[in-house]
Structure 1
Amino acid sequence: MNRTAIAKACGFNRSVLYDNEDCARMLAEAHSSETRKTPGSAHDDPTGKQLQALENQVQHLETRVACLAAENADLRLKLKRAKAVADELVADGKRIAPYESGGTQ
Protein backbone atom coordinates (compact mmCIF):
# COMPACT_ATOMS: atom_id res chain seq x y z
CA MET A 1 0.00 0.00 0.00
CA ASN A 2 1.60 3.25 -1.15
CA ARG A 3 0.76 5.84 1.51
CA THR A 4 2.51 8.63 -0.39
CA ALA A 5 0.30 8.05 -3.43
CA ILE A 6 -2.80 7.89 -1.23
CA ALA A 7 -1.94 11.18 0.51
CA LYS A 8 -1.11 12.86 -2.79
CA ALA A 9 -4.39 11.71 -4.34
CA CYS A 10 -6.31 13.01 -1.31
CA GLY A 11 -4.50 16.34 -1.37
CA PHE A 12 -2.86 16.31 2.03
CA ASN A 13 0.48 15.58 3.65
CA ARG A 14 1.47 11.96 4.20
CA SER A 15 1.89 12.59 7.94
CA VAL A 16 -1.92 12.94 8.19
CA LEU A 17 -2.18 9.22 7.43
CA TYR A 18 -0.12 8.49 10.54
CA ASP A 19 -1.17 11.33 12.88
CA ASN A 20 -4.94 11.33 12.26
CA GLU A 21 -6.46 8.43 14.20
CA ASP A 22 -9.37 7.98 11.78
CA CYS A 23 -7.08 7.87 8.74
CA ALA A 24 -4.69 5.45 10.43
CA ARG A 25 -7.58 3.18 11.42
CA MET A 26 -9.10 3.22 7.91
CA LEU A 27 -5.74 2.42 6.34
CA ALA A 28 -5.15 -0.42 8.79
CA GLU A 29 -8.59 -1.85 7.99
CA ALA A 30 -8.00 -1.52 4.26
CA HIS A 31 -4.59 -3.12 4.56
CA SER A 32 -5.87 -6.04 6.65
CA SER A 33 -8.73 -6.72 4.24
CA GLU A 34 -6.29 -6.46 1.33
CA THR A 35 -3.92 -9.03 2.86
CA ARG A 36 -6.77 -11.44 3.62
CA LYS A 37 -7.71 -11.62 -0.05
CA THR A 38 -6.23 -14.58 -1.85
CA PRO A 39 -6.76 -15.67 -5.45
CA GLY A 40 -9.78 -17.92 -5.73
CA SER A 41 -11.30 -16.74 -2.47
CA ALA A 42 -14.86 -15.54 -1.96
CA HIS A 43 -13.64 -11.96 -2.38
CA ASP A 44 -13.08 -12.55 -6.09
CA ASP A 45 -16.80 -13.06 -6.73
CA PRO A 46 -18.73 -11.02 -4.17
CA THR A 47 -22.34 -11.87 -3.43
CA GLY A 48 -25.18 -9.37 -3.47
CA LYS A 49 -24.85 -8.83 0.29
CA GLN A 50 -21.12 -8.23 -0.01
CA LEU A 51 -21.64 -5.80 -2.88
CA GLN A 52 -24.27 -3.92 -0.93
CA ALA A 53 -21.99 -3.75 2.11
CA LEU A 54 -19.15 -2.46 -0.04
CA GLU A 55 -21.40 0.11 -1.71
CA ASN A 56 -22.58 1.27 1.72
CA GLN A 57 -19.00 1.56 2.88
CA VAL A 58 -18.04 3.55 -0.23
CA GLN A 59 -21.02 5.85 0.26
CA HIS A 60 -20.08 6.36 3.92
CA LEU A 61 -16.47 7.14 3.00
CA GLU A 62 -17.51 9.53 0.23
CA THR A 63 -19.74 11.36 2.69
CA ARG A 64 -16.89 11.50 5.20
CA VAL A 65 -14.52 12.87 2.54
CA ALA A 66 -17.04 15.54 1.60
CA CYS A 67 -17.47 16.54 5.26
CA LEU A 68 -13.72 16.70 5.81
CA ALA A 69 -13.25 18.71 2.61
CA ALA A 70 -15.89 21.20 3.78
CA GLU A 71 -14.25 21.42 7.20
CA ASN A 72 -10.87 21.92 5.53
CA ALA A 73 -12.25 24.73 3.36
CA ASP A 74 -13.80 26.39 6.42
CA LEU A 75 -10.54 26.16 8.35
CA ARG A 76 -8.58 27.59 5.41
CA LEU A 77 -11.01 30.52 5.26
CA LYS A 78 -10.66 31.14 9.01
CA LEU A 79 -6.87 31.00 8.71
CA LYS A 80 -6.93 33.44 5.80
CA ARG A 81 -9.07 35.86 7.83
CA ALA A 82 -6.82 35.52 10.89
CA LYS A 83 -3.74 36.23 8.75
CA ALA A 84 -5.44 39.30 7.28
CA VAL A 85 -6.25 40.61 10.77
CA ALA A 86 -2.69 39.92 11.95
CA ASP A 87 -1.26 41.66 8.88
CA GLU A 88 -3.47 44.68 9.53
CA LEU A 89 -2.40 44.86 13.16
CA VAL A 90 1.27 44.67 12.15
CA ALA A 91 0.78 47.36 9.50
CA ASP A 92 -0.87 49.67 12.06
CA GLY A 93 2.00 49.11 14.47
CA LYS A 94 -0.26 47.55 17.09
CA ARG A 95 1.50 44.23 16.90
CA ILE A 96 5.04 43.08 16.20
CA ALA A 97 5.39 40.82 13.17
CA PRO A 98 5.96 37.16 14.17
CA TYR A 99 9.28 35.59 13.39
CA GLU A 100 8.91 32.89 10.72
CA SER A 101 11.95 30.69 10.36
CA GLY A 102 10.57 28.69 7.43
CA GLY A 103 9.49 31.64 5.31
CA THR A 104 5.93 32.61 4.54
CA GLN A 105 3.28 30.11 3.62
Structure 2
Amino acid sequence: ATSISWSPDGKVLAVTFGNSDLDLVDAAIGRVLVGIQGDSHSFVCSLAWRSNRILTTERSDGSVVDCDIRKDDRAICDYKGYRLKFVVLNGLSCLGGI
Protein backbone atom coordinates (compact mmCIF):
# COMPACT_ATOMS: atom_id res chain seq x y z
CA ALA A 1 0.00 0.00 0.00
CA THR A 2 1.16 3.51 -0.73
CA SER A 3 1.75 5.75 2.27
CA ILE A 4 2.54 9.47 2.26
CA SER A 5 3.16 12.04 4.96
CA TRP A 6 3.93 15.78 4.82
CA SER A 7 6.59 17.21 7.11
CA PRO A 8 5.11 19.64 9.67
CA ASP A 9 6.49 22.65 7.76
CA GLY A 10 5.06 21.33 4.46
CA LYS A 11 8.44 21.39 2.70
CA VAL A 12 9.06 17.63 2.40
CA LEU A 13 6.76 14.80 1.38
CA ALA A 14 7.71 11.28 2.49
CA VAL A 15 6.42 8.61 0.08
CA THR A 16 6.55 4.83 0.06
CA PHE A 17 4.89 2.55 -2.47
CA GLY A 18 4.30 -0.53 -0.36
CA ASN A 19 7.87 -1.77 -0.48
CA SER A 20 10.92 -1.27 1.72
CA ASP A 21 12.04 1.95 0.01
CA LEU A 22 11.18 5.51 0.95
CA ASP A 23 11.51 8.75 -1.05
CA LEU A 24 11.74 12.23 0.42
CA VAL A 25 10.42 14.75 -2.10
CA ASP A 26 11.02 18.52 -2.12
CA ALA A 27 7.46 19.90 -2.25
CA ALA A 28 8.49 23.17 -3.92
CA ILE A 29 10.12 21.61 -6.99
CA GLY A 30 8.75 18.05 -6.95
CA ARG A 31 12.22 16.48 -6.99
CA VAL A 32 13.35 13.49 -4.92
CA LEU A 33 15.83 14.80 -2.36
CA VAL A 34 16.75 11.45 -0.88
CA GLY A 35 15.93 7.86 -1.74
CA ILE A 36 16.22 5.57 1.27
CA GLN A 37 16.54 1.85 0.60
CA GLY A 38 15.11 -0.44 3.25
CA ASP A 39 15.83 -4.09 3.87
CA SER A 40 14.26 -6.77 1.71
CA HIS A 41 12.62 -8.55 4.67
CA SER A 42 9.89 -6.02 5.43
CA PHE A 43 8.05 -3.10 3.90
CA VAL A 44 6.99 0.32 5.17
CA CYS A 45 3.36 0.30 6.36
CA SER A 46 2.97 3.79 7.83
CA LEU A 47 4.78 7.11 8.10
CA ALA A 48 4.53 9.92 10.64
CA TRP A 49 6.72 12.97 11.26
CA ARG A 50 7.86 13.77 14.83
CA SER A 51 9.45 17.04 13.70
CA ASN A 52 10.70 18.58 10.45
CA ARG A 53 13.75 16.30 10.58
CA ILE A 54 12.58 13.12 12.38
CA LEU A 55 10.41 10.69 10.40
CA THR A 56 8.98 7.57 12.05
CA THR A 57 8.25 4.49 9.94
CA GLU A 58 6.27 1.42 10.92
CA ARG A 59 7.42 -1.73 9.12
CA SER A 60 5.67 -5.00 8.32
CA ASP A 61 8.03 -6.94 10.63
CA GLY A 62 6.63 -5.04 13.63
CA SER A 63 9.57 -2.68 13.98
CA VAL A 64 9.30 1.07 14.27
CA VAL A 65 12.25 3.17 13.13
CA ASP A 66 12.97 6.86 13.78
CA CYS A 67 15.05 8.43 11.00
CA ASP A 68 16.88 11.75 11.05
CA ILE A 69 16.56 12.86 7.43
CA ARG A 70 19.57 15.21 7.75
CA LYS A 71 22.07 12.46 8.65
CA ASP A 72 23.78 10.01 6.29
CA ASP A 73 23.21 7.19 8.78
CA ARG A 74 19.50 8.01 9.13
CA ALA A 75 18.20 5.36 11.55
CA ILE A 76 18.54 6.86 15.03
CA CYS A 77 16.23 4.55 16.98
CA ASP A 78 14.77 1.13 16.18
CA TYR A 79 11.93 -0.21 18.33
CA LYS A 80 11.93 -3.95 17.63
CA GLY A 81 8.75 -5.86 18.39
CA TYR A 82 6.81 -2.69 19.19
CA ARG A 83 3.50 -2.36 17.39
CA LEU A 84 1.96 1.00 16.64
CA LYS A 85 -1.56 1.86 15.72
CA PHE A 86 -1.75 4.88 13.44
CA VAL A 87 -4.99 6.85 13.57
CA VAL A 88 -5.93 9.98 11.66
CA LEU A 89 -7.85 12.54 13.72
CA ASN A 90 -8.84 15.86 12.16
CA GLY A 91 -6.23 15.41 9.45
CA LEU A 92 -3.40 14.68 11.91
CA SER A 93 -1.61 11.34 12.20
CA CYS A 94 -1.58 10.09 15.77
CA LEU A 95 0.20 7.02 17.07
CA GLY A 96 0.17 4.96 20.22
CA GLY A 97 1.78 1.72 21.31
CA ILE A 98 -0.13 -1.50 21.81
Q: TM-score w.r.t. structure 2 length?
A: 0.23
Structure having the larger proportion of residues in strand: 2
Structure having the larger proportion of residues in helix: 1
**Using CA pairs below 8 Å that are at least 6 residues apart, which structure has the higher relative contact order?**
2
Q: Which has the larger radius of gyration?
A: 1
